[in-house]
Structure 1
Amino acid sequence: MKRAKIKSLDAINRQVLKSRINIIMLIIFLLCLMLIFRLGYLQIVQGDEYQEEIENAQYVEINQSVPRGEIYDRNGNLLVGNESQPAIYFTRHRNMNTSEIMDVATELSGYISMDTDSLTLRDQQDFILRNHRDFVEDLMSDEMTLLEDGNISNDDFNSEFYNRADAEAIEGVLNDEDLNILAVYVEMVNARELHPVVIKNEDVTEEEFARVNSALEELDGITTGMDWERHYPYGETLKTIFGEVSSPDEGLPRELVDYYLSLGYTRNDRVGKTYLEFQYEDVLRGKKEQVKYSTDKSGRIINQEVVRAGSPGDDLYLTIDIELQQELEELAEYHLTSLRGLAEEAERRNSLNGDFEYNIIPEFMDSVVLVVQDPNNGEILAMVGKQINEDGDVVDYHYAGLTSTYVAGSSIKGATIATGYQNDVISVGQYLVDEPLSFSGSPPKRSFFNQDSQITIDDQEALMVSSNVYMFKIALALDGIEYGSGMSLPSDIEEAGQTLRNGLNQFGLGVSTGIDLPNEATGLAPELKHNPGNYLDLAIGQYDTYSGLQLSQYISTIANGGNRIQHHLAKEVRHSDANADGPVIKSFSPNVLNTIDLSDAEMSQIQNGFYDVFNTHDESTNRYGTGWDAYNELEPKAAGKTGTAESYRDGEPVLNQTYLGYAPYDDPDMAFSVIFPNMPYTIPFFPAQYFGADVIQKYYELEYGQDEEDPYEYDISEFYPQLEYGSYD
């Protein structure tokens, strides 16, 4: 037998050691392999992401003042510009604490004077807690002992101090120097790291600017530069419509924070807050400069480099004609104050003579609204609103054409006629009898021009004399009803009411005009279901409410032959150019919202009726168009529609007077709407229609060079004797 080989102990130990070394080497190899894979993954797969993080840490888009784009009128006149002004900025470096900020504020306060009126009580309390410990200890001696003994927390101590140190308790503690330091500190303390904030940009004197400039090396984070503020070469004219821009202190307005943050803005960005500045923020905003900062180990800025220069926003050119706007503002003020004066004199005479059975309240006659546009493309040429305030001063009310709505009266009857055509309840030239309408259980309804007769008129003459009855009969026919004396009104007019409303809506009445401004009012459209009397009133403009813009779009749709064109104030956008008009980036073309489904004959019949309103006196019947007195002598001829609607103010009956028109009647390039709300409830109506005639005349003067004429002169001696007690049943 062979003897089995037995390994020596040393051999076994060597084998075990070798195995262990192999295992360790395998582990080391695997670890190295994992490291190589990890490095490759970080460099190849995630390298761009980390590089972006590094760049983002170095490149900061800062809120350095970049001017907004400017706003011009259609002829290149500057309406809203930028006024540069010296400014003092602070940039908070990384890791800068509040104590360091207070030190800088204290030093800077020796160079500039701040407005301290806006400092809050809490601001002053915090400053006293930090810098006036003697006062704090005297006021809070017991609490100070408890704090030192550890029986109350520092938060509890501070909370009690805020409760006890009211305005009266701290009066006189802070001197003017303290308040100035605090005002500087408040502007600085909320600054984000590496994002400059304005410390002072209003009323910075040359001396202050020079002194700060000379001490910049000593003032950590302080720089100087130029800022801007909006300025308005035409004063208050259309200033509300232009809108507001937030201040450097305000940044994103509280009510718009979420909206602007969603678009990538930062909280301290200056943005458009209202109207055109808000609507065209994307056009007017400038591009902020991008800066690369270099910092030391402590986070202090040691160098900065502009990577991308800032640039101003693009310029916005409007459809507004500022010369026409200002001329019409003067006219509006003249007519409003003249009519108020006419009412005051009529009231005075009535108080002496007792001629009338009703009140004339001049204070109610406090506003007028005017919109002028090109009917062919939707361009707004002027938006005028004037109002007499409680002090008797005339102030601008330009936004009223956008935000205020009124019952308009008979001026909307062209849309009622059109709805009758479209629903085959009347045809062109159809005759109906205008007569007092008698309904069971309801007071009679009649036309103003015909109180007690039966007069056969067609659709064209119905517009000329403003027949209510013609419109009532159309409304009844829309519900499948033919009028009969003493009949009962239908109990449910919901379907017919919607048909009639849709007919008015197609002209822009009761719906958005598409104007490029926020907060457009579309008017009130109360329920129409079991109220047939209100349904009939809707047909003559006595139920729903409309704005000046809606009435202007309606008359323009008739003027241009049936296209309802979207309103707009923006004409074009141009690149900003300090030396000349920049190149056009975008032009705003007409946008047809809908086309009225009428034949040429039907549209012409409505236009003919509107011509008659302003120009026709039928000698055979001695009937006049309702606007004949004011408009018949205009050359070239105009066309339009008048309206008077019953309303109430403070429980007193009043009349809204509306006047719509376009000119020249056969090839119009202007259309207008006028609203005089809350006029006295009298017959004849107060002669506000002359304002519309003066608007057309002024347009001809400016656009065609016609001879200038004086505006209509109101004469109480001629008007007062005509007044009678009003009845509009």
Structure 2
Amino acid sequence: MRRVKKKSSEAIKYQVFKSRVSLVLAVVFLLCLILILRLGYLQIIKGDSYQERVENAQYVEINQNVPRGQIFDRNGKLLVGNKSERAIFFTRHRNMSNQEILTLANELSSYINVDDQRLALRDKQDFVLNNYYEQVLRELPNEAQLLKDGAISRTEFYEEAYNQLSEEFVDTLLTDDDLNVLSIYVRMIVASELNPVAVKAKDVTEEEFAKVNQDLDKLDGITTGMDWTRDYKYGSTLRTIFGDVSSSEEGLPKELTEYYKSLGYSNNDRVGKSYLEFQYEDILRGTKEEVKYSTDRSGKILGQEVVRPGKPGNDLYLTIDIELQQEIEKLAEHHLKSLRKLAEDAKKRNDENNDLDWDIHPEYIDTVNIVVQDPNNGEILAMVGKHINEEGEVEDFDYGTFAVTYVPGSSVKMGTVVTGYQNDVLEPGEFIVDEPLVFQDGTKKTSFFNRNDSIAVDDQEAIMVSSNIYMMKIALKLLGLEYEKGMPLPIDISDNSYKLRNGLNQFGLGVSTGIDLPNEETGIAPALTNNPGNYLDLAIGQYDTYSAMQLSQYISTVANGGSRIQSHLAKEVREYDANANGPVVKTFNANVLNTVQINDKEFEQLKKGMYDVFNTHDQATDRYGTGWDAFHNLEPKAAGKTGTAEAFREGHSVLNQTYLGYAPAEHPDMAFSIIWPTMPMTIPFFPAQFLGQDLVLKYYELEYGQAPKKPYNYNLDEFYPRIKEGSY
């Protein structure tokens, strides 16, 4: 046999080594191949995506306090502008820790003082736990012992501290320097990376500004610049209606955070918080500056480049005539004070003589609401509210014109008449007997001008003398009933009562006017089911409640022939231009909400009746229009309707007095509504209608150049004998 040739031990070792090297090379080759494939995938397939992410990380839209658009009146007078103020900002670097921010806050506190009364208790507690830990242990001995024994954790100890450390205790520990550091810190800590926040944007002194500027290289992330605040050119006039803007420190208001975040806002954005600033935020807000940052590996900012400059917001032009607004404010204050003085003097004289049957409470004369608008396009020319507070000071109450409602009284009667026309229960010129209505249950209803007799009046005269019975008989007809003395009132009126309320709604009473302001109140409209007495009261304005804005839209709908036009304050939007009016971006045209179906003959009857309210004394019957006393001397003539509604205040009987009108009577270009709530219950009524007279005269002066006339002055010696006799 042949012998098997054996390999030497060296050959075997070499073979093993060779195999291992081949395996290692194969693994290395495989790893290199995977790496090459991965790099190819990243560069070729995912390259664009990653490049975009890099770019997005470098380009950051930041809030650099771009000024808001300005607000002007209809004639181009600046109402709300912007005022520059020195400011100090902080920009948080990437990867910047809270401890680093606290250290910076300590450094910055030696440069500026921040008086912040809004520090939360939790902020103070955190500061005390970090800086006065030994004092906290002494304050909480039981919890401190549990912590020492290991019975509770440090986290649990902190939770107990948050629950037990009172504000009084932490305030005893915190020095003024501590509070300054903390105030600075809480403003800085909310900053997101690479997004500046204002550390101090109000009342920065020249010295503070200069000191910080001088040492900017020592204060990492701190910069100086200019901030802005709203500048109200006409002081308190319409201040509430303009609304508020959040401050640099406040950012998004808590109650609006979710709303604005849903629109893409950041926490530190300055936004409109109320009324016009809120309503037109999308117009008034500016375009933020876009900045490209360059940073080192640690995230520290090395430089920045403005990629897209910021742009102020667009300018908003209102329908308001600021001169008319201010003049009516003066009239409102004059009449409010004068009527209260008249009531005070009447009460004082009665206290001496005890010869009046009326209970007069002068303090109840504390409010008046006025709206003036163009009846042809819904533009609000002026909205005035005045209120006397408990200290006897007159304050603005402009929002009351659309956010507060009252029972208006007879001023709604044109709506009742038109509803009768539309439901074919009344013909233009139809006569109805005004007489006391007596029902089976003892309910009795009368007109003010006629307490006991039977007098036939048509729709024109019913408006002129404000016949309650004419309107109530229309309301009965809408239920399919004709009045008979002693008749029972129906038990269930739900089937047809809606006709009357819908008839009033079509004029804007009890529904939204569409005014471009938040929080409009549409009024109280209780159910009409088994309360026929209230239903009859609704026909004369003694049940549902309406605002001055609704009454203004209502009288404007009558004035223009039946078009209910949306009430609005915005007239147009223009691009911001620092030197002149910018180009028009948007115009707010008349928006007809609905059309009241009324023919020419019916409309003519309404016009005649409303003209008579202000201008007619019927010599044959010696009947006067209810507004004749104050309005009959106007030239050109005006037309309108008055109203009084019985109400209660603190258990006492009072009257809401309303005055609606338009002028000139032919081709009107203004309409107005006035509400005097809770006036004294006297006969004759307190002469509040003279505010309406002065209002129209002032409009004629400003619009038509008529000679100025002094406001009406009230005379107790003339008025007192009339209320003493209780007659007109």
TM-score range, shorter chain: over 0.9
**Which residue of 2 is the match for residue 108 of structure 1?**
108
Question: Retained in 2: the 8 A contact 1:682–1:725?
Answer: no
The 1:145–1:657 alpha-carbon spacing in structure 2 relative to 1, beyond 3 Å, is closer
**Which residue of 2 is the match for residue 683 of structure 1?**
683
Alpha-carbon distance in structure 1 between the residues aligned to 2:489 and 2:141: 84
Deviation for aligned residue 1:253 = 1.5
**Which residue of 2 is the match for residue 502 of structure 1?**
502
**Which residue of 1 is the match for residue 360 of structure 2?**
360
**Which residue of 1 is the match for residue 404 of structure 2?**
404
Deviation for aligned residue 1:250 = 1.9
**Which residue of 2 is the match for residue 262 of structure 1?**
262
Residues 390-539 of structure 1: matches in 2 within 5 Å?
390-539=390-539
Alpha-carbon distance in structure 2 between the residues aligned to 1:305 and 1:465: 75
Deviation for aligned residue 1:255 = 1.6
Question: 2:444 is paired with a residue of what secondary structure?
Answer: strand
Alpha-carbon distance in structure 2 between the residues aligned to 1:151 and 1:535: 73
Amino acid at match of 1:363: E
% identical aligned pairs? 64
Q: Deviations over 1:114-142 (max 9, x none)?
A: 21443344333322332345544655677
Alpha-carbon distance in structure 2 between the residues aligned to 1:342 and 1:186: 55
Q: Deviations over 1:420-452 (max 9, x none)?
A: 111111111111111111111132111100111
**Which residue of 1 is the match for residue 654 of structure 2?**
654
Question: Retained in 2: the 8 A contact 1:509–1:551?
Answer: yes
Question: 1:682 is paired with a residue of what secondary structure?
Answer: coil
**Which residue of 2 is the match for residue 87 of structure 1?**
87
Residues 578-593 of structure 1: matches in 2 within 5 Å?
578-593=578-593
**Which residue of 1 is the match for residue 196 of structure 2?**
196
Amino acid at match of 1:341: K
Deviation for aligned residue 1:35 = 7.1
Alpha-carbon distance in structure 2 between the residues aligned to 1:451 and 1:116: 66
Question: 1:292 is paired with a residue of what secondary structure?
Answer: strand
Question: 1:481 is paired with a residue of what secondary structure?
Answer: coil
**Which residue of 1 is the match for residue 222 of structure 2?**
222
Question: 1:546 is paired with a residue of what secondary structure?
Answer: coil
Deviation for aligned residue 1:374 = 0.5
Alpha-carbon distance in structure 1 between the residues aligned to 2:471 and 2:143: 82
**Which residue of 2 is the match for residue 6 of structure 1?**
none
Question: Retained in 2: the 8 A contact 1:684–1:724?
Answer: no
Amino acid at match of 1:236: S
TM-score, L = length of structure 1:
0.93
The 1:411–1:30 alpha-carbon spacing in structure 2 relative to 1, beyond 3 Å, is same
Question: Retained in 2: the 8 A contact 1:681–1:726?
Answer: no
Amino acid at match of 2:482: E
Q: Deviations over 1:476-505 (max 9, x none)?
A: 111111111111112221132100111111
Alpha-carbon distance in structure 2 between the residues aligned to 1:462 and 1:265: 58
**Which residue of 2 is the match for residue 610 of structure 1?**
610
Alpha-carbon distance in structure 2 between the residues aligned to 1:125 and 1:26: 59
The 1:157–1:26 alpha-carbon spacing in structure 2 relative to 1, beyond 3 Å, is closer
Deviation for aligned residue 1:63 = 1.5
| 1:234 lines up with 2:196 in the alignment | no
Question: 1:290 is paired with a residue of what secondary structure?
Answer: strand
The 1:449–1:44 alpha-carbon spacing in structure 2 relative to 1, beyond 3 Å, is farther
Q: Deviations over 1:494-527 (max 9, x none)?
A: 1321001111111111111111111111111100
Question: 2:648 is paired with a residue of what secondary structure?
Answer: strand
Q: Deviations over 1:64-120 (max 9, x none)?
A: 111110100011111111111010001111111122112211111111112144334
Deviation for aligned residue 1:48 = 4.3
Alpha-carbon distance in structure 2 between the residues aligned to 1:168 and 1:521: 43
Deviation for aligned residue 1:42 = 5.4
Alpha-carbon distance in structure 1 between the residues aligned to 2:724 and 2:479: 37
Residues 271-310 of structure 1: matches in 2 within 5 Å?
271-310=271-310
Unaligned runs of 5+ in 2: 1-6, 8-14
**Which residue of 2 is the match for residue 130 of structure 1?**
130
Alpha-carbon distance in structure 1 between the residues aligned to 2:103 and 2:35: 52
Deviation for aligned residue 1:308 = 0.9
Deviation for aligned residue 1:178 = 2.6
Alpha-carbon distance in structure 2 between the residues aligned to 1:47 and 1:608: 80
Question: Retained in 1: the 8 A contact 2:69–2:315?
Answer: yes
Alpha-carbon distance in structure 2 between the residues aligned to 1:135 and 1:423: 82
The 1:157–1:623 alpha-carbon spacing in structure 2 relative to 1, beyond 3 Å, is same
Alpha-carbon distance in structure 2 between the residues aligned to 1:724 and 1:264: 67
**Which residue of 2 is the match for residue 721 of structure 1?**
721
Deviation for aligned residue 1:567 = 0.6
Deviation for aligned residue 1:59 = 1.1
Deviation for aligned residue 1:145 = 6.8
Question: Retained in 2: the 8 A contact 1:373–1:381?
Answer: yes
Deviation for aligned residue 1:158 = 2.6
Question: 1:303 is paired with a residue of what secondary structure?
Answer: strand
Question: 1:213 is paired with a residue of what secondary structure?
Answer: helix
Alpha-carbon distance in structure 2 between the residues aligned to 1:697 and 1:57: 64
**Which residue of 2 is the match for residue 4 of structure 1?**
none
Question: 1:346 is paired with a residue of what secondary structure?
Answer: helix
Alpha-carbon distance in structure 1 between the residues aligned to 2:40 and 2:455: 97
Alpha-carbon distance in structure 1 between the residues aligned to 2:615 and 2:157: 84
The 1:653–1:47 alpha-carbon spacing in structure 2 relative to 1, beyond 3 Å, is farther
Deviation for aligned residue 1:235 = 0.7
Question: Retained in 1: the 8 A contact 2:500–2:539?
Answer: yes
| 1:62 lines up with 2:54 in the alignment | no
**Which residue of 2 is the match for residue 334 of structure 1?**
334
* Larger mean Cα displacement after TM superposition, 250-259 or 537-546: 250-259
Question: 2:657 is paired with a residue of what secondary structure?
Answer: strand
The 1:494–1:172 alpha-carbon spacing in structure 2 relative to 1, beyond 3 Å, is closer
Question: Retained in 2: the 8 A contact 1:510–1:522?
Answer: yes
Deviation for aligned residue 1:167 = 4.0
Alpha-carbon distance in structure 2 between the residues aligned to 1:35 and 1:607: 90
Amino acid at match of 1:667: H
Q: Deviations over 1:649-702 (max 9, x none)?
A: 111111000000000000100000000000111100000001001100000011
Alpha-carbon distance in structure 1 between the residues aligned to 2:144 and 2:433: 95
Alpha-carbon distance in structure 2 between the residues aligned to 1:206 and 1:583: 38
Count how many residue pairs are aligned between Structure 1 and Structure 2. Answer: 710
The 1:543–1:40 alpha-carbon spacing in structure 2 relative to 1, beyond 3 Å, is farther
Alpha-carbon distance in structure 2 between the residues aligned to 1:398 and 1:436: 40
Amino acid at match of 1:50: Y
Amino acid at match of 2:237: T
The 1:295–1:112 alpha-carbon spacing in structure 2 relative to 1, beyond 3 Å, is same
Deviation for aligned residue 1:166 = 3.3
**Which residue of 1 is the match for residue 3 of structure 2?**
none
Q: Deviations over 1:631-664 (max 9, x none)?
A: 0000000000000011111111110000000000
| 1:175 lines up with 2:178 in the alignment | no
Alpha-carbon distance in structure 2 between the residues aligned to 1:137 and 1:510: 63
Amino acid at match of 1:601: K
Amino acid at match of 1:130: N
**Which residue of 2 is the match for residue 74 of structure 1?**
74
Question: 2:496 is paired with a residue of what secondary structure?
Answer: helix
Question: 1:260 is paired with a residue of what secondary structure?
Answer: helix
Alpha-carbon distance in structure 2 between the residues aligned to 1:174 and 1:349: 61
Deviation for aligned residue 1:47 = 4.5
RMSD: 2.5
* Larger mean Cα displacement after TM superposition, 445-454 or 26-35: 26-35
| 1:669 lines up with 2:669 in the alignment | yes
Amino acid at match of 2:363: E
Alpha-carbon distance in structure 1 between the residues aligned to 2:163 and 2:485: 78
Question: Retained in 1: the 8 A contact 2:199–2:249?
Answer: no
**Which residue of 2 is the match for residue 570 of structure 1?**
570
Alpha-carbon distance in structure 1 between the residues aligned to 2:524 and 2:146: 65
Question: Retained in 2: the 8 A contact 1:105–1:185?
Answer: yes
Unaligned runs of 5+ in 1: 1-8
Question: 1:571 is paired with a residue of what secondary structure?
Answer: strand
Residues 9-20 of structure 1: matches in 2 within 5 Å?
none
Deviation for aligned residue 1:552 = 0.3
The 1:434–1:133 alpha-carbon spacing in structure 2 relative to 1, beyond 3 Å, is closer
| 1:324 lines up with 2:309 in the alignment | no
Question: Retained in 1: the 8 A contact 2:315–2:573?
Answer: yes
Alpha-carbon distance in structure 2 between the residues aligned to 1:615 and 1:368: 24
The 1:524–1:142 alpha-carbon spacing in structure 2 relative to 1, beyond 3 Å, is closer
